[in-house]
Amino acid sequence: MFSTVPLLPEPTTGHAFAGAYAFARRVTRESLRLAVVAVGSLIVVAGFVLALLPGHLGLPLLVIGLIMVLRNSPKARRQFIHLQQRHPRVVFPVRRLIRREPEIFPVLWQQALRLERMIIPARWRRAGVWRRRYFRRRR
């Protein structure tokens, strides 16, 4: 008695090629993802090399490459999480730098204090004193 009418008409054109179209999209997406991971890996290597040289260009390149690789490679993401669980003090500054809105200056300050603590004897350390003297919050 009653017949149902679909609200959206069924596509008639391209029906025979729907499987091939889906396969082509999947192959294109995977090849693009692999290309982004390869470019990100090259940027990480270049950033590491430049970080060893005098200057400051290596760290931003390293962070950009890590962002590209970690967002597009599930295997690299799993390895990064494993590294984070194993060495949280080393990986935490990197995690703070690869966020969408990175905290660049607090990370640099924390790393400067950590480096000062590792290298300079306690009585010669000045960074904390300078921060308290010159960057104290005004009431």
Q: pLDDT tens across 108-123, in order?
A: 777 777 877 888 787 7
The answer to whether residues 65 and 33 touch, using CB atoms and an 8 Å cutoff, is no
* Residue 1 domain-assigned (yes or no): no
pLDDT exceeds 70 at position 59: yes
What's the distance, CA 133 to chain centroid? 35
What's the chain's Rg over C-alpha atoms? 25
Q: Do 75 and 39 have their domain in common?
A: yes
Strands (E), 1-139: none
Q: Do 42 and 74 have their domain in common?
A: yes
* Residue 13 domain-assigned (yes or no): no
pLDDT exceeds 80 at position 89: yes
Q: Do 50 and 84 have their domain in common?
A: yes
Q: Do 81 and 115 have their domain in common?
A: no
Q: Do 43 and 82 have their domain in common?
A: yes
Range of the domain at 139: 103-139
* Residue 36 domain-assigned (yes or no): yes
The answer to whether residues 74 and 81 touch, using CB atoms and an 8 Å cutoff, is no
Q: Do 123 and 76 have their domain in common?
A: no
pLDDT of residue 11: 58
State how many domains the chain has.
2
> What is the spatial distance between Cα 118 and Cα 112, in angstroms, rounded to a whole number?
10
* Residue 7 domain-assigned (yes or no): no
Q: Do 50 and 80 have their domain in common?
A: yes
pLDDT category at 34 given cuts 50, 70, 90 is very high
